[in-house]
Protein backbone atom coordinates (compact mmCIF):
# COMPACT_ATOMS: atom_id res chain seq x y z
CA UNK A 1 0.00 0.00 0.00
CA UNK A 2 1.54 3.23 -1.14
CA UNK A 3 1.50 6.35 0.98
CA UNK A 4 -0.12 9.52 -0.21
CA UNK A 5 2.17 11.90 -2.04
CA UNK A 6 1.72 14.68 0.51
CA UNK A 7 2.89 12.33 3.30
CA UNK A 8 6.10 11.63 1.39
CA UNK A 9 6.62 15.35 1.16
CA UNK A 10 6.05 15.76 4.91
CA UNK A 11 8.48 12.93 5.71
CA UNK A 12 11.13 14.37 3.40
CA UNK A 13 10.67 17.84 4.90
CA UNK A 14 10.83 16.46 8.43
CA UNK A 15 13.92 14.39 7.67
CA UNK A 16 15.62 17.35 6.01
CA UNK A 17 14.79 19.59 8.97
CA UNK A 18 16.13 16.97 11.39
CA UNK A 19 19.35 16.65 9.44
CA UNK A 20 19.66 20.43 9.22
CA UNK A 21 19.06 20.73 12.98
CA UNK A 22 21.66 18.07 13.73
CA UNK A 23 24.13 19.78 11.42
CA UNK A 24 23.36 23.17 13.02
CA UNK A 25 23.67 21.70 16.53
CA UNK A 26 26.92 19.95 15.58
CA UNK A 27 28.35 23.19 14.20
CA UNK A 28 27.44 25.05 17.40
CA UNK A 29 28.85 22.23 19.52
CA UNK A 30 32.14 22.17 17.66
CA UNK A 31 32.36 25.96 17.70
CA UNK A 32 31.84 25.95 21.46
CA UNK A 33 34.39 23.18 21.92
CA UNK A 34 36.80 25.02 19.64
CA UNK A 35 36.42 28.17 21.75
CA UNK A 36 36.94 26.14 24.92
CA UNK A 37 40.05 24.50 23.49
CA UNK A 38 41.36 27.86 22.30
CA UNK A 39 40.79 29.33 25.76
CA UNK A 40 42.39 26.29 27.39
CA UNK A 41 45.41 26.53 25.10
CA UNK A 42 45.65 30.26 25.77
CA UNK A 43 45.38 29.76 29.53
CA UNK A 44 47.89 26.92 29.55
CA UNK A 45 50.33 29.06 27.55
CA UNK A 46 49.78 31.89 30.02
CA UNK A 47 50.44 29.53 32.93
CA UNK A 48 53.52 28.14 31.19
CA UNK A 49 54.89 31.65 30.59
CA UNK A 50 54.04 32.73 34.11
CA UNK A 51 55.65 29.61 35.56
CA UNK A 52 58.89 30.41 33.76
CA UNK A 53 58.86 33.92 35.18
CA UNK A 54 58.03 33.06 38.77
CA UNK A 55 60.29 30.03 39.04
CA UNK A 56 63.19 32.21 37.82
CA UNK A 57 62.55 34.76 40.60
CA UNK A 58 64.09 34.10 44.02
CA UNK A 59 63.46 37.47 45.66
CA UNK A 60 60.25 37.11 47.70
CA UNK A 61 59.45 40.83 47.44
CA UNK A 62 59.53 40.55 43.63
CA UNK A 63 58.00 37.10 43.39
CA UNK A 64 54.74 37.63 45.29
CA UNK A 65 53.53 40.62 43.21
CA UNK A 66 54.31 38.58 40.06
CA UNK A 67 52.23 35.69 41.36
CA UNK A 68 49.38 38.03 42.32
CA UNK A 69 49.40 39.55 38.85
CA UNK A 70 49.39 36.07 37.32
CA UNK A 71 46.26 35.05 39.23
CA UNK A 72 44.53 38.32 38.30
CA UNK A 73 45.17 37.67 34.60
CA UNK A 74 44.32 33.98 34.62
CA UNK A 75 40.88 34.30 36.22
CA UNK A 76 40.20 37.97 35.42
CA UNK A 77 39.81 39.56 38.86
CA UNK A 78 40.34 43.10 40.16
CA UNK A 79 40.85 42.25 43.83
CA UNK A 80 42.85 39.59 45.62
CA UNK A 81 45.60 38.77 48.07
CA UNK A 82 48.37 36.30 48.82
CA UNK A 83 48.60 35.38 52.49
CA UNK A 84 51.55 33.45 53.87
CA UNK A 85 51.56 31.46 57.09
CA UNK A 86 53.42 32.92 60.06
CA UNK A 87 54.56 29.64 61.58
CA UNK A 88 55.38 31.17 64.97
CA UNK A 89 51.83 32.30 65.71
CA UNK A 90 49.93 30.14 63.18
CA UNK A 91 48.41 33.19 61.54
CA UNK A 92 47.99 34.15 57.89
CA UNK A 93 49.41 37.54 56.88
CA UNK A 94 48.84 39.44 53.61
CA UNK A 95 52.13 39.76 51.74
CA UNK A 96 50.88 40.91 48.32
CA UNK A 97 47.58 42.07 46.88
CA UNK A 98 45.63 44.10 44.35
CA UNK A 99 42.60 46.31 45.01
CA UNK A 100 43.19 46.23 48.79
CA UNK A 101 43.20 49.09 51.26
CA UNK A 102 46.26 49.78 53.42
CA UNK A 103 44.14 48.85 56.43
CA UNK A 104 43.55 45.38 55.04
CA UNK A 105 47.27 44.60 55.31
CA UNK A 106 47.18 45.59 58.98
CA UNK A 107 43.86 44.07 60.08
CA UNK A 108 43.30 40.90 58.04
CA UNK A 109 45.27 38.22 59.91
CA UNK A 110 43.09 35.13 60.24
CA UNK A 111 44.20 32.22 62.38
CA UNK A 112 43.96 28.61 61.25
CA UNK A 113 40.28 27.63 60.73
CA UNK A 114 39.20 31.27 61.09
CA UNK A 115 37.31 32.75 58.15
CA UNK A 116 37.52 31.44 54.60
CA UNK A 117 41.31 31.75 54.35
CA UNK A 118 41.86 30.08 57.71
CA UNK A 119 39.56 27.18 56.79
CA UNK A 120 41.29 26.73 53.42
CA UNK A 121 44.70 26.68 55.14
CA UNK A 122 43.47 24.20 57.77
CA UNK A 123 41.70 21.82 55.37
CA UNK A 124 43.97 22.21 52.32
CA UNK A 125 40.82 22.46 50.19
CA UNK A 126 39.75 25.37 47.98
CA UNK A 127 36.51 27.24 48.67
CA UNK A 128 34.24 28.92 46.12
CA UNK A 129 31.56 31.37 47.31
CA UNK A 130 29.18 32.95 44.78
CA UNK A 131 27.85 35.67 47.09
CA UNK A 132 29.75 36.64 50.24
CA UNK A 133 26.79 38.70 51.52
CA UNK A 134 24.78 35.48 51.95
CA UNK A 135 27.56 33.34 53.46
CA UNK A 136 26.83 32.98 57.19
CA UNK A 137 29.48 30.54 58.38
CA UNK A 138 32.80 30.73 56.55
CA UNK A 139 33.08 34.35 55.43
CA UNK A 140 34.36 36.86 57.99
CA UNK A 141 34.71 40.53 57.04
CA UNK A 142 37.71 41.84 59.00
CA UNK A 143 37.46 45.33 57.52
CA UNK A 144 33.91 46.65 57.21
CA UNK A 145 31.71 48.14 59.89
CA UNK A 146 29.81 45.18 61.41
CA UNK A 147 26.64 47.29 61.56
CA UNK A 148 26.60 47.59 57.78
CA UNK A 149 25.55 44.94 55.31
CA UNK A 150 28.22 42.63 53.97
CA UNK A 151 29.68 43.31 50.53
CA UNK A 152 28.22 41.28 47.67
CA UNK A 153 31.24 39.69 46.02
CA UNK A 154 32.32 36.39 44.57
CA UNK A 155 35.24 34.70 46.30
CA UNK A 156 37.64 31.93 45.32
CA UNK A 157 40.23 30.90 47.91
CA UNK A 158 42.91 28.27 47.23
CA UNK A 159 45.66 26.74 49.38
CA UNK A 160 49.35 27.06 48.50
CA UNK A 161 50.76 23.63 49.31
CA UNK A 162 54.28 22.29 48.90
CA UNK A 163 54.85 18.59 49.66
CA UNK A 164 51.89 18.46 52.03
CA UNK A 165 52.91 21.63 53.90
CA UNK A 166 50.64 24.68 53.70
CA UNK A 167 52.63 27.81 52.85
CA UNK A 168 49.60 30.09 52.70
CA UNK A 169 46.52 30.83 50.63
CA UNK A 170 45.53 32.96 47.65
CA UNK A 171 42.20 34.76 47.87
CA UNK A 172 40.53 36.07 44.68
CA UNK A 173 37.55 38.45 44.69
CA UNK A 174 35.57 40.58 42.25
CA UNK A 175 35.48 39.04 38.81
CA UNK A 176 35.85 41.79 36.24
CA UNK A 177 32.40 42.42 34.77
CA UNK A 178 30.61 41.17 37.87
CA UNK A 179 30.41 37.51 36.88
CA UNK A 180 30.83 34.44 39.04
CA UNK A 181 33.75 32.06 39.27
CA UNK A 182 33.27 28.84 37.32
CA UNK A 183 34.67 25.39 37.96
CA UNK A 184 36.94 26.04 35.01
CA UNK A 185 38.30 29.13 36.85
CA UNK A 186 38.90 26.96 39.91
CA UNK A 187 40.82 24.35 37.88
CA UNK A 188 43.02 26.94 36.16
CA UNK A 189 43.68 28.76 39.44
CA UNK A 190 44.52 25.43 41.13
CA UNK A 191 47.14 24.65 38.48
CA UNK A 192 48.65 28.10 38.98
CA UNK A 193 48.53 27.68 42.78
CA UNK A 194 50.64 24.53 42.51
CA UNK A 195 53.24 26.37 40.43
CA UNK A 196 53.17 29.33 42.81
CA UNK A 197 53.74 27.12 45.86
CA UNK A 198 56.91 25.67 44.32
CA UNK A 199 58.21 29.17 43.52
CA UNK A 200 57.41 30.45 47.02
CA UNK A 201 59.18 27.50 48.64
CA UNK A 202 62.27 28.12 46.50
CA UNK A 203 62.21 31.79 47.48
CA UNK A 204 61.92 30.85 51.16
CA UNK A 205 64.95 28.60 50.88
CA UNK A 206 66.90 31.36 49.16
CA UNK A 207 65.78 33.87 51.79
CA UNK A 208 67.02 31.55 54.55
CA UNK A 209 70.41 31.39 52.84
CA UNK A 210 70.79 35.18 52.76
CA UNK A 211 69.30 35.90 56.21
CA UNK A 212 71.13 36.31 59.50
CA UNK A 213 70.18 33.50 61.86
CA UNK A 214 69.95 35.66 64.99
CA UNK A 215 68.16 38.79 63.81
CA UNK A 216 66.33 37.42 60.74
CA UNK A 217 67.71 40.37 58.74
CA UNK A 218 69.67 40.13 55.50
CA UNK A 219 73.37 39.31 55.76
CA UNK A 220 76.28 41.59 54.84
CA UNK A 221 76.97 39.99 51.44
CA UNK A 222 73.35 40.18 50.35
CA UNK A 223 73.13 43.81 51.47
CA UNK A 224 75.98 44.72 49.10
CA UNK A 225 74.32 42.81 46.27
CA UNK A 226 70.96 44.53 46.77
CA UNK A 227 72.45 48.00 47.23
CA UNK A 228 74.21 47.74 43.89
CA UNK A 229 71.03 46.45 42.24
CA UNK A 230 68.82 49.16 43.77
CA UNK A 231 71.29 51.90 42.78
CA UNK A 232 71.16 50.70 39.18
CA UNK A 233 67.37 50.73 39.27
CA UNK A 234 67.17 54.17 40.90
CA UNK A 235 69.55 55.62 38.30
CA UNK A 236 67.54 54.06 35.45
CA UNK A 237 64.28 55.60 36.67
CA UNK A 238 65.86 58.85 37.88
CA UNK A 239 64.83 58.29 41.51
CA UNK A 240 66.42 59.16 44.85
CA UNK A 241 67.73 56.27 46.93
CA UNK A 242 68.67 56.66 50.60
CA UNK A 243 70.82 54.66 52.97
CA UNK A 244 70.61 54.52 56.75
CA UNK A 245 73.39 52.99 58.84
CA UNK A 246 73.36 52.75 62.64
CA UNK A 247 74.83 50.82 65.52
CA UNK A 248 74.15 50.31 69.21
CA UNK A 249 75.84 52.80 71.50
CA UNK A 250 78.40 51.32 73.92
CA UNK A 251 77.46 47.78 72.90
CA UNK A 252 80.77 46.35 74.14
CA UNK A 253 80.07 47.67 77.64
CA UNK A 254 76.56 46.23 77.37
CA UNK A 255 78.02 42.78 76.62
CA UNK A 256 80.68 43.08 79.33
CA UNK A 257 78.18 44.12 82.02
CA UNK A 258 75.34 41.69 81.25
CA UNK A 259 76.85 38.90 79.12
CA UNK A 260 76.66 37.94 75.48
CA UNK A 261 73.26 36.25 75.78
CA UNK A 262 71.71 39.53 76.88
CA UNK A 263 73.64 41.22 74.09
CA UNK A 264 72.07 38.81 71.62
CA UNK A 265 68.64 39.56 73.09
CA UNK A 266 69.29 43.27 72.53
CA UNK A 267 70.15 42.59 68.87
CA UNK A 268 66.98 40.54 68.41
CA UNK A 269 64.83 43.24 70.02
CA UNK A 270 66.41 45.95 67.90
CA UNK A 271 65.75 43.96 64.72
CA UNK A 272 62.07 43.62 65.66
CA UNK A 273 61.81 47.37 66.28
CA UNK A 274 63.49 47.96 62.92
CA UNK A 275 60.99 45.73 61.09
CA UNK A 276 58.03 47.40 62.81
CA UNK A 277 59.33 50.89 62.02
CA UNK A 278 60.39 50.56 58.39
CA UNK A 279 58.28 49.77 55.32
CA UNK A 280 58.01 46.20 54.08
CA UNK A 281 59.63 47.34 50.82
CA UNK A 282 62.80 48.55 52.56
CA UNK A 283 65.84 46.28 52.70
CA UNK A 284 66.99 45.65 56.25
CA UNK A 285 70.39 44.11 56.95
CA UNK A 286 72.73 43.28 59.80
CA UNK A 287 75.87 44.86 58.46
CA UNK A 288 78.15 43.33 61.04
CA UNK A 289 78.25 42.88 64.83
CA UNK A 290 76.01 45.56 66.29
CA UNK A 291 75.89 47.63 63.09
CA UNK A 292 72.82 47.67 60.85
CA UNK A 293 71.91 49.09 57.44
CA UNK A 294 68.65 50.03 55.73
CA UNK A 295 68.19 50.67 52.01
CA UNK A 296 65.19 52.93 51.54
CA UNK A 297 63.90 51.70 48.19
CA UNK A 298 62.62 54.61 46.03
CA UNK A 299 58.89 55.18 46.20
CA UNK A 300 57.13 57.30 43.53
CA UNK A 301 54.61 58.43 46.18
CA UNK A 302 57.14 60.58 48.03
CA UNK A 303 60.53 62.09 47.38
CA UNK A 304 63.31 60.90 49.65
CA UNK A 305 64.76 64.25 50.55
CA UNK A 306 67.37 64.34 53.32
CA UNK A 307 64.77 65.92 55.59
CA UNK A 308 62.24 63.14 54.99
CA UNK A 309 64.84 60.42 55.49
CA UNK A 310 66.09 62.10 58.66
CA UNK A 311 62.52 62.08 59.99
CA UNK A 312 62.27 58.34 59.31
CA UNK A 313 65.64 57.70 60.97
CA UNK A 314 64.65 59.87 63.93
CA UNK A 315 61.47 57.83 64.38
CA UNK A 316 63.58 54.67 64.46
CA UNK A 317 65.98 56.19 66.99
CA UNK A 318 63.09 57.20 69.29
CA UNK A 319 61.44 53.79 69.02
CA UNK A 320 64.67 52.10 70.09
CA UNK A 321 65.25 54.54 72.96
CA UNK A 322 61.66 54.18 74.19
CA UNK A 323 61.74 50.35 74.18
CA UNK A 324 64.07 49.17 76.96
CA UNK A 325 65.20 45.55 77.12
CA UNK A 326 63.74 43.75 80.12
CA UNK A 327 66.26 41.57 81.99
CA UNK A 328 65.78 40.06 85.44
CA UNK A 329 63.32 42.72 86.50
CA UNK A 330 65.47 45.52 85.12
CA UNK A 331 64.79 47.72 82.12
CA UNK A 332 68.01 48.16 80.18
CA UNK A 333 68.07 51.26 78.01
CA UNK A 334 69.33 50.86 74.45
CA UNK A 335 70.23 53.78 72.19
CA UNK A 336 71.58 54.00 68.66
CA UNK A 337 73.64 56.45 66.62
CA UNK A 338 72.41 56.89 63.06
CA UNK A 339 73.96 58.10 59.82
CA UNK A 340 71.87 59.01 56.76
CA UNK A 341 72.71 59.75 53.13
CA UNK A 342 70.55 60.33 50.03
CA UNK A 343 71.82 59.58 46.52
CA UNK A 344 70.58 61.32 43.38
CA UNK A 345 72.21 59.05 40.82
CA UNK A 346 75.60 60.77 40.65
CA UNK A 347 77.90 58.53 38.60
CA UNK A 348 80.96 59.48 40.61
CA UNK A 349 79.37 57.78 43.64
CA UNK A 350 79.37 53.98 43.56
CA UNK A 351 78.13 51.47 46.11
CA UNK A 352 81.24 51.56 48.30
CA UNK A 353 81.37 55.35 48.25
CA UNK A 354 77.72 55.58 49.30
CA UNK A 355 78.33 53.22 52.23
CA UNK A 356 81.37 55.32 53.21
CA UNK A 357 79.23 58.47 53.20
CA UNK A 358 76.60 56.88 55.46
CA UNK A 359 79.38 55.57 57.70
CA UNK A 360 80.90 59.05 57.98
CA UNK A 361 77.50 60.41 59.05
CA UNK A 362 77.15 57.60 61.60
CA UNK A 363 80.50 58.34 63.23
CA UNK A 364 79.77 62.07 63.19
CA UNK A 365 76.67 61.23 65.25
CA UNK A 366 78.89 59.31 67.67
CA UNK A 367 81.42 62.13 67.96
CA UNK A 368 78.62 64.59 68.64
CA UNK A 369 77.45 62.62 71.68
CA UNK A 370 75.66 59.47 70.40
CA UNK A 371 71.92 58.70 70.49
CA UNK A 372 71.26 61.01 67.56
CA UNK A 373 70.74 61.14 63.79
CA UNK A 374 73.24 62.79 61.50
CA UNK A 375 72.74 63.48 57.77
CA UNK A 376 75.82 63.33 55.52
CA UNK A 377 77.18 66.67 54.35
CA UNK A 378 79.82 67.55 51.79
CA UNK A 379 82.23 69.02 54.33
CA UNK A 380 82.36 65.96 56.63
CA UNK A 381 85.82 64.91 57.80
CA UNK A 382 87.07 61.39 57.04
CA UNK A 383 85.69 58.61 59.21
CA UNK A 384 87.51 58.20 62.51
CA UNK A 385 86.54 55.01 64.32
pLDDT of 214: 94
Q: Tell me which of 152 and 129 has the higher pLDDT.
A: 129
**Residue 76, pLDDT above cutoff 80:** yes
290 is catalytic: yes
Buried b (16+ CB within 10 A) or exposed e, 78-114: ebbbbbbbeeeeebbbbbbbbebeeeebeebbbeeeb
Return phi, psi of residue 138, to 5°. Answer: -80, -45
Q: Tell me which of 147 and 344 has the higher pLDDT.
A: 344
- Mean pLDDT of the region 132-152: 58
Residue 162 · residue 139 · CB < 8 Å? no
**Residue 9, pLDDT above cutoff 70:** no
Percent of the chain with pLDDT over 90: 46
- Mean pLDDT of the region 245-259: 90
Q: DSSP for 218-232?
A: B-HHHHHHHHHHHHH
**Residue 302, pLDDT above cutoff 50:** yes
Domains in the chain, CATH or no CATH each? 60-209 (3.30.450.40), 220-375 (3.30.70.270)
- Mean pLDDT of the region 344-351: 86
pLDDT of 384: 40
**Residue 383, pLDDT above cutoff 50:** no
Closest by CA to 188, choosing from 72, 287, 300, is 72
pLDDT digits (tens, 9 = 90+) for 203-238: 999 988 999 999 999 999 999 999 999 999 999 988
Residue 68's pLDDT band, with cuts at 50, 70 and 90, is very high
Question: What are residue 337's DSSP bridge partners?
Answer: 247
Residue 74 · residue 47 · CB < 8 Å? yes
Residue 49's pLDDT band, with cuts at 50, 70 and 90, is low
Q: Tell me which of 12 and 91 has the higher pLDDT.
A: 91
Q: Tell me which of 305 and 318 has the higher pLDDT.
A: 318
| List 114, 228, 232, 290, catalytic entry | 290
Closest by CA to 189, choosing from 358, 360, 68, 289, is 68
Return phi, psi of residue 283, to 5°. Answer: -105, 115
pLDDT of 103: 80
pTM score: 0.70
Average pLDDT of the residues of the chain: 84
Instruction: Identify the top-confidence range among 135-144, 148-157, 311-320, 374-383.
Output: 311-320
pLDDT digits (tens, 9 = 90+) for 165-210: 999 999 998 888 778 888 888 888 998 899 899 999 999 999 889 9
Neighbours of 16 (CB within 10 A): 10
- Mean pLDDT of the region 238-252: 93
pLDDT of 356: 94
pLDDT of 230: 93
pLDDT of 385: 41
pLDDT digits (tens, 9 = 90+) for 350-374: 999 999 999 999 999 999 999 999 9
Return phi, psi of residue 239, to 5°. Answer: -115, 160
Amino acid sequence: MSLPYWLYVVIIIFASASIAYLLWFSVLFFKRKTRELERLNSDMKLIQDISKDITATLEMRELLPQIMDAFAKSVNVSKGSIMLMNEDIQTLEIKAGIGLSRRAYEVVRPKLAEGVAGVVAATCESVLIDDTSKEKYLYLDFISDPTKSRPKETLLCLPLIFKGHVLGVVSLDKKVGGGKFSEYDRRIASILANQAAVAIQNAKLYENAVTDGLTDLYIHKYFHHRLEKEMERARRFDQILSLIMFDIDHFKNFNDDYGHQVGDAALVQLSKILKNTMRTTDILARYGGEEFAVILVPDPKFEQTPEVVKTIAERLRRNVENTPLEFKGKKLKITISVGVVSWHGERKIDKDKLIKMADDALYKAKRDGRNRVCVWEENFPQTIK
